[in-house]
Structure 1
Amino acid sequence: MPLAQLVMNLRWSWHPDTRDLFEALDPDLWRTCGGDPVKVLGEVSAARLATLAKDRRFVRRLSDVVEDLDEYLTAPHWYQSLGAEAPASIAYFSAEFGITEVLPQYSGGLGILAGDHLKAASDLGVPLIGLGLLYRAGYFEQGLSADGWQLEHYPALDPHGLPVKLLRQPDGSAVVVSVPLPEGRTLHAHVWRAQVGRVSLLLLDSDIEENAPTERGVTDRLYGGDEDHRLRQEMLLGIGGVRALRAYCQLTGTPAPEVFHANEGHAGFQGVERIRELTESHGLSFGEALQAVRAGTVFTTHTPVPAGIDRFPRALIERYFAGFGVPLEHLIPLGAEDDPAKFNMAHMGLRLGQRANGVSRLHGEVSRGMFSDLWPGFDEADVPIGSITNGVHAPTWTARELVDLGTQSSSLGDPNEREETTSFDGVDRISAGELWSIRRMLRGRLVEEVRRRLRETALSRGATEAEVGWTDAAFDPDVLTIGFARRVPSYKRLTLMLRDPERLKALLLDADRPVQLVIAGKSHPADDGGKQLIQQMVKFADDPAVRHRIAFLPGYDIGMARYLYWGCDVWLNNPLRPLEACGTSGMKAALNGGLNLSIRDGWWDEWFDGQNGWAIPTADGVADPDRRDEVEARAIYELLGSQVIPRFYETDRDGIPSRWVEMVRHTLRETGPKVLATRMVRDYVQRLYVPAAGSARVMADGGYAPAREESAWRARVHERWGAIRVAHVEATGAGDTPEIGTTLALRAEVELPGLAPADVQVQAAYGRVDDADGLHDVTTVPMTLEHADGSRHWFTATVPLERTGAFGYTVRVLPDSAHLADPAELGLVTSA
C-alpha cells in the first residue's frame, strides 16, 4: 500500500509534501493525533479511504509523493561522486536518536544530533547504518505539580504502534541477538528497523519472551537504573549492536561496514566485540585485533566535564566480562584511569578509536586538555583529538515559509552538493518588508502555541476553567520574544536571568518596549538540583503580574522545539564557559533568522561575527561562582537594555526595524550555511570516514598481515622506548645576535638501542619561550638522518628565525609508522 510505504519511511518527518498528504487524509484526525501518521493511518475510517481512492486529484498527488520518495532513495547524491575510496558502509552507534517526536528515543542534544546526523547522511547519500536501543518508555514525559516541581511520566510504547518494522529471518521468525551475562545468564533482543530516508536505524529491544524479567527490563528507559542496569544497556548497545548489524547485513545483502563510529562512550563495547570476532574468526592475538579494530573506528566525545563520563566499578566489568572472550588483562587497561577501581568508558572509546573528535573548535581544545593524561609527555595542543563542529538538519528545523521564500538558496547551486560552504545569497532578493512579515507571522504562531500550552499546563496543575481565561491574552505577537530551551543541568544556568528579579520584571513589563520570555527544559529524573531550578523559574513565571510575559512550558520535545526556533527573535544561552560542548539549539534558531544572545561557548565561540547576534561577556577569571553569576547576569541585562531591545523597536517610516532585519538577513546568509548538518557530515566523511576506511582496508589486507606486523612493531617500540635518549643538541649559524630572516642549523645525537631510524621520526620543535622556559606557538620540522654509528644516530635540520622576542627550540623523538594517524598516537615521546 503506497500510504504504508510513506508512513514507514521517516523522511515524512522533514518532507512537507508528504506531511501535507497525510494531513489531507483527515485534517481533524491529523490534529487530534498530533501529526503522527502511524496513528492517523490506523484510525482513519475505511469509508474515508474509499472516498479518497476515487478522488483522482488525491490519487495523483499520492503517486507524485511516492515517486518523489523513490527518486530520493535511488538517485545518486554527493557521496556517490567520491569513488572507490569512500567506505561502502558505515556503522553509527548512539545511545539515543532524536528523529521525530513520534519515535521518542531521545533525551536532549546528543540524541537530536544523532538524528540529524542520520538525516543529513541520507540527504547526501552516505551509506550509514544507525545502531541504538528501543526504549519501551522512552526518556520521560514531563509535567509540573501545583508547586512547580517536575513530574515524570513514563508512557508504555508499543513498537507495533511506532514507525518501525521487526527484522525477520527468511522464514518469518524474528531475528534474535544474544549477549552473554554473568552466572550463565543471557540477554536476548529483537531488532526493530526504522527507515530514515536512505538510512536504516536498527534498535534493539530486550522486552521479549526469551528473557527473564530482569533482562526484559534492560531497555525500559533511557538513562535510567543503577550501574548494573546501565552496564547491561551499554553491553547490549555495543556487543548486541554489532551482532544485530551482522545479521542485518547478511539478511539484506548490505556491505559489511568498514567504519564504526561511536557517538560518545556509551557505545564503546562495539570495539570489544569486534576484537573478539577477529580473535575467534581469524586467529588474531588481542594486540593484532586491536590494530585492525582501531584503524576503522571513529570516536566522538560530547563531554566537556569528567563528571559527564560513564565510569563503572572495575569489579563490575570483571564480573560481566569474565568469560566473554577478550581476556580481562587486555580489556581492563582499555578503560584505565587515575582511579584503579574505575573503568572509564570515554577512555576506552579513545583507546579503541584511531580517530577522535570533539564537537566544536573550543570543545576540541577542552577535550585535549581533559584527556591529556592519556598522552603523557605531550603538550595539550599535540593530543590527537580534533574537532568537527556540529550541525543541524535544516529541513527538519527551518520554518517552511522561510524555505519557500528562498532563505536557504544560493546562486552557486545546491549547498548539499558543493564541497565548500557557500553563502545563502538568495536571501538578498527578499525585501526587508517580506522578511519582517514572515518573522512576525512565525512569532504569532509561537504565541498561539504558548497560549494553548499555558492553558493545558494550568489545568493539569489543578486550576479550574474559570481560572485560565488569562491565557487567552498571554504573550503578544508584536513583542520582542526571547527563547531559552535546553536540558537543565546546573552549568547551563537556567535561572541566571532571575539573578535580579526586579530588573527582569522591569524588562518584561516596560510600557513601551516590553520583552517576553519562553522557557522550556527537562531535568534528569535523579537531579533534584535541576528540578529546584525549574521550580524557581516556575514560581517566578506564576506571578500574575508577569505571567502574560514569561512562561515555563513543560513537555519540551521536538514538536515544541520547532515552534520556539521558528518564532523566537532572540535565542538566549548562558552556560558556564567552556562547559557547553556545542549548543545546537542556537543553530536552529539562526536557520530561522533568530539572533543569538550567548556566552561565547561551543559553536558560538567560533561563528559569532558581530552581526549575527550578541556575545555575552564572560567573567572567566572570577573564582567565586556566585560572583561570576552576578557579573554575567548583569551583562545580560545591560546588553538587552542597551542594544537588543532598542534595535528591535527602532523602526523606519514603514514600521520596519530595518537594522534588526539586516542582522536577520546576515544571519540567514552567512551563519545559515555553516550550521548545516550536511556540512558536518561532509566533514566527517572527508576527514574521518574516508581515512578510517583506508586504514581499515590496509590492516585487513592479506588475512590481516599488516595488523599482525603493526602489533609486533608497537610491542617492540613500547618495550625499548625507555632506552631512547637525545644525548646532545647543538645549534650553529645564528651568531651572537640572531636576526629575523636568518636560520639556525640544528644537529642532534640520538641513541636508539634496539630500534632503527625508520622506527622513529626526529623533530626540531621551536617557538616562543616564556619565563619558565616553556615553549609556546610551537612549530615542528623533521630532522634528517646524517649518519649512524651503532645505536648512535645524528640528525640535522634547519630552523628559520621568523619572529621577534624570546626564542627557543628542542628536539624530540616519536615513533614512526605508515599506519599511524597521528605522531602522538602511541603516547610515546622523548625530548632533549
Structure 2
Amino acid sequence: MNPSSQYASWHHPYKPARKYNKRVAYFSMEFGIDQGLKIYSGGLGFLAGSHLRSAFDLKQNMIGIGMLWKYGYYDQGRAEDQSMVARRSEKRYNFLEDTGIEVRITINDNPDVRVRAYVLKPEIFGTVPLYLLSTDLPENDYLSQTITDNLYDSNDETRISQNIVLGIGGAKVVQALGGADKYHLNEGHALPAFYHLKNEGVDPSRFVFTTHTPVQAGNVVRNGYHLNSRGFFGRTLAGPELQKELVGEGLNYTVAALRLSNKANAVSRLHGQVARGMWQSFGLDQKITHITNAQHPGFWTDPALGKAFQQKKAASFQKRKKELKTQLFKEVLDQTGKLFDPEVLTIVWARRFAAYKRPDLLLHDFPRFVELIRRKGQAVQIIWAGKPYPKDFNAINTFNRLVEVSKGFPNLAVLTGYEIALSRLLKCGSDVWLNTPRITREASGTSGMTAAMNGTVNLTVNDGWIPEFADKNKNSFVLPEVDPGQPISVQDELDSRHLYELLENEVMPMYYTDKTQWMQRVFNGITAVNPDFSSHRMADQYYNTLYSD
C-alpha cells in the first residue's frame, strides 16, 4: 500500500464541529450523489447521497464507504415497440482519485482478492469523502474482476461476493484510514464488516445498523453453511459457533445485523412499529428506534420556486411552476411524441417499479379510469416513470402494460431513464405526486418529500413517512386507510375506489375551481416538509441518537 492522496488518511477539508467529532464510517451499497456518478439505483441511494451532503454541510466527521460499479445499475431504454430494455455500458469517471489503498480479502478459498479504494473528494459534489471499492484490477483473476461490475447483480453468488467486498474490504479500508468510532451499516449488504471487525477485536458497541424495509426481498436469508464456505464471516466458523448465527440453516442478514449492532433504527415512526413487530420473536424489538429518512433541500429544490415560496408570492410561484412543467414536457415530447399542456393538472407516479408499490393501481377499474382521463372541463395528464429490477419480470410486464395503454391516449406517458436528472424534472414539473404502496410495506418513501419541496402536492396512502407529515385537509390528499390484514385483492379494490373518489371529488375540482385553496395546500406542504424532512435534521439525529454512547 502506497497512499498517494491526502484522502488516504482520515481527512476532511474542515475541522469537524465539536458535537460531530466522532469518527463515523457509513457503509452503503449505493449512493445517489449526482446524475453523472451512476453508482445508485433509486431511493436507498438518494437517501445515502443526501446524508453525505448534509454531513458535509454540518461539518460532521463522517466518511462514506461504497462500491465503484463498472456498469452502474443499468441503462433503461426502449425496444422497437417502446417496451423496456435493460442495457449495460461501461462507466468511467475522471474525477475519482486513486488513494493507493489496496486491501486483500478471501472469497471462496481465494485469499488474494484485491480491493482498491478510490475517493470522491468533498470539493467535487459537496459531500464528505466517499471511498469507492473496486475489484476491477489486472492482478485479480477474471471472476474476481467482475464482482464490482453490476449493482444488485442477478447472480446470487456474485451478490455474496459483493457483500464480502463491501463489508470486509470496506472495513479493512477504514482500518487503513485509521479506524472509526462508529461503523454504520445502511442496510444489511455490508454485514460481513461486523464479523470482520469483531474478529479483529473491535468492540460491538461501535456497530450501528439501519433497516430500510419490511419487504421480504430486502431482508435477505441465505444458507449459512454456504456463506461460511465463501468467507462471509471473515474466518471459517466451527459448527456450534456458526449455529449461533443461524435460524435453522439460514442466516437472516437483518437478524444478524440487529444481533451484532449496539443500536439500530428503522426509517420512519410507522416503520419502527412494523420492524419491532417483525423482529420481536427474536428478542430484538427493543433495540430498534426510528430515525425518519429525509432529503437534502438544497440539492433537490428549484431555487426560483424556493424564492417565490419564501416571499409568499403565489403568482411568481405559479409562473415558475409552469416553466418547470414546460421543461418536463419537452422530455415527454422527446420520448413519446406527445405534446402535454402546462395548464393541465399533471399527476406523476415515479419510483422503483415493484408489485407492492402498485404503479398500475389507477388502472384497477379500467372503465372508470378511462372516464377519469376523459373528464370534460377538468383535464388531467399522467406520467409514469421508474426502473424495475432488471430480472423482476412481473414489474417489467407492468411497466410494458402501461406503455401499451399509454399509446391509446394523448394525455398518458411512460418515461424511461428514471435517474437523478429525470427525478428532478418530474418533481419540479408535476402538480400531484401519486404514492400507492400497500400500507405497512413502504418503510419511508422519500420521493414525496422532494416533490413537496418543489410545491407538488402528495396524493398518497397513509404509509411510510406520510403519517408524520400529512394533514390531509391542509398539505396533502390522503386515502382512507384500509386494513392491511385483508386479502390483497380487497385492499386493491378499496384503495383504487378511494383514489378515484379523491381525484374526482377533491383534487381535480380544487385545482381548476379554487386556485387560492390549491396554492395554500402547496405552500402548506413546503412548510411542513422543511425542516422536519431535511437531511440536516436526519444527519444531526443520527449523531445524537445512533452514534451516542
| From 103, 116, 120, the counterpart of 1:177 | 103
Q: Residue type matched to 2:496 in 1?
A: A
Note if 1:435 corresponds to 2:435: no
Contact 1:364 1:385 in 2 (8 A): yes
Q: Secondary structure at the match of 1:522?
A: coil
Tell me, in whole angstroms, the C-alpha distance in 2 between the residues paired with 1:622 and 1:514: 36
Structure 1: distance between partners of 2:536 and 2:351: 23
TM-score by length of 1: 0.62
Structure 2 SS opposite 1:219: coil
Q: Deviations over 1:403-459 (max 9, x none)?
A: 343x4xxxxxxxxxxxxxxxxxxx3x423222222222222222222222324xxxx
- Assess if the C-alpha contact under 8 Å between 2:327 and 2:429 holds in 1: yes
- Cα distance, 1:163–1:222 mapped onto 2, change above 3 Å: same
Q: Which residue of 1 aligns with 2:545?
A: 687
Residue identity opposite 2:173 in structure 1:
A
1:663 to 521, 536, 543: 521
Map of 2:3 onto structure 1: none
Alpha-carbon distance between aligned partners in 2 of 1:602 and 1:539, rounded to the nearest angstrom = 31
For the Cα contact (< 8 Å) 2:469–2:528, is it kept in 1? no
Residue 384 (str. 1) matches residue 384 (str. 2): no
Hey, what's the Cα distance between the residues in 1 that align with 2:294 and 2:481?
Answer: 25
Q: How has the CA–CA distance of structure 1 residues 331 and 445 changed in structure 2, closer, same or farther, with 3 Å as cutoff?
A: farther
Q: Which of 476, 486, 494 pairs up with 1:631? A: 494
For residue 346 of structure 1, what is the aligned residue in structure 2? 254
C-alpha distance in 1, partners of 2:237/2:485? 48
Q: Is 1:552 paired with 2:414? A: yes
Contact 1:102 1:162 in 2 (8 A): no
Which position in structure 2 is the counterpart of 1:115? 49
Letter of the structure 2 residue corresponding to residue 393 of structure 1: H
Partner of 2:456: 594
User: Aligned ranges for residues 56-75 of structure 1 at < 5 Å?
Assistant: 73-74=13-14
Question: 1: CA distance between counterparts of 2:148 and 2:484?
Answer: 44
- Taking the aligned partners of 1:503 and 1:162, their CA distance within structure 2 comes to 52
Structure 2 residue matching 1:179: 3-state secondary structure: strand
Query: Secondary structure at 1:121's aligned position in 2?
Result: helix
Partner of 1:284: none
- Asked if the contact 2:56–2:128 (Cα under 8 Å) also holds between the matched residues in 1, the reply is yes
Corresponding residue number in structure 2 for 1:573 = 435
Give the conservation status (yes or no) of the 8 Å contact 1:485–1:521: yes
Change (3 A) 1:480 1:347: same
Correspondences of 1:88-107 after superposition (within 5 Å): 88-107=22-41
Query: What is the DSSP-based 3-state SS (H/G/I as helix, E as strand, rest coil) of the residue aligned with 1:218?
Result: coil
Q: Does residue 374 in structure 1 map to residue 232 in structure 2?
A: no
8 A contact 2:440–2:484 mirrored in 1: no
Matched, 1:199 2:128: yes
What residue number does 2:533 align with? 675
Match of 2:4 in 1: none
Which residue number in structure 1 is paired with residue 98 of structure 2? 166
Counterpart-to-counterpart distance in 1, 2:244 and 2:296? 34
SS where residue 96 of structure 1 aligns? coil
Quick one: which amino acid aligns to residue 676 of structure 1?
Answer: S
Answer yes or no: is the 8 Å Cα contact 1:276–1:326 preserved in 2. Answer: no
- Between 584-593 and 624-633, report the one with greater CA deviation: 624-633
2:370 to 505, 508, 512: 505
The answer to whether residue 381 in structure 2 is matched with residue 516 in structure 1 is: yes
1:363-399 Cα offsets, whole Å, 9 max, x none, are 01111011112118xxxxx632110000001111111
Distance 1:98 1:322 in 2: 27
Q: Equivalent residue of 2:130, what SS?
A: strand
Equivalent position of 1:306 in the other structure: 216
Residue 622 of structure 1, CA deviation: 6.2
Secondary structure, in 3 states, of the residue corresponding to 1:602?
Answer: coil
Corresponding residue SS for 1:100: coil
1:239 correspondence with 2:165: no
| 1:691-723, Cα deviation, whole Å (9 max, x unpaired) | 1xx3xxxxxxxxxxxxxxxxxxxxxxxxxxxxx
Letter in 2 for 1:386: T
1:362 equivalent in structure 2: 270
Aligned residue pair count: 535
Q: Is 1:490 matched up with 2:413?
A: no
The whole-number CA distance in structure 2 between the counterparts of 1:668 and 1:223 is: 34
Superposition map of 1:743-754 within 5 A: none
Which of 486, 496, 506 in structure 2 is aligned with 1:643?
A: 506
Q: Secondary structure at the residue paired with 1:157?
A: coil
2:19 matched to 1:137? no
Q: By how many angstroms is 1:334 displaced?
A: 6.0
Name the amino acid aligned to 1:536.
R
Give, in angstroms, the shift of residue 92 of structure 1.
Answer: 0.1
1:276 pairs with 2:276: no
| CA–CA distance in structure 2, aligned partners of residues 449 and 266 of structure 1 | 35
Cα distance, 1:607 vs. partner?
A: 1.4
Give the conservation status (yes or no) of the 8 Å contact 2:228–2:237: no
Contact 2:154 / 2:391 at 8 angstroms: preserved in 1?
no
Inter-CA distance 650–297: structure 2 relative to 1 (3 Å threshold): same
Partner of 1:534: 399
Paired with 2:519 and 2:327, the residues of 1 have a C-alpha distance of 19
2-side partners of 1:645 and 1:484: how far apart? 16
Give the secondary structure class of the aligned counterpart of 1:199: coil
In the alignment, structure 1 residue 317 sits paired with structure 2 residue 227: yes
Provide the rounded CA distance (Å) in 1 between the counterparts of 2:84 and 2:322: 32
Instruction: Name the stretch that deviates more: 227-236 or 367-376.
Output: 367-376
Gaps of 5+ in 1: 1-8, 10-71, 169-174, 251-255, 279-288, 377-381, 408-426, 456-470, 652-656, 695-832
Q: Is the 8 A contact 1:87 1:259 kept in 2?
A: no
Q: Is the 8 A contact 2:21 2:60 kept in 1?
A: no
User: Deviation at 1:224?
Assistant: 0.7
Q: Partner residue of 1:422?
A: none
Task: Answer with 213-222 or 509-518: which moved more.
Answer: 509-518
- Structure 1 position 587, deviation (Å): 0.3
| Separation (CA, whole Å) in 2 of partners of 1:364 and 1:525 | 30
Q: Does the CA contact (< 8 Å) of 1:332 and 1:343 recur in 2?
A: no
Deviation at 1:326, TM superposition (A): 6.3
1-structure distance, mates of 2:233, 2:163: 17
What is the CA distance between 1:676 and its match in structure 2?
0.5
Structure 2, unaligned runs of 5 or more? 1-6
The alignment yields a C-alpha RMSD, in angstroms, of: 2.0
How many angstroms apart in 1 are the aligned matches of 2:262 and 2:21? 16
Equivalent residue, structure 2, for 1:786: none
Task: State which structure, 1 or 2, has the greater radius of gyration over its C-alpha atoms.
Answer: 1
**C-alpha displacement of 1:345:** 1.2
When normalised by structure 2's length, the TM-score is 0.93
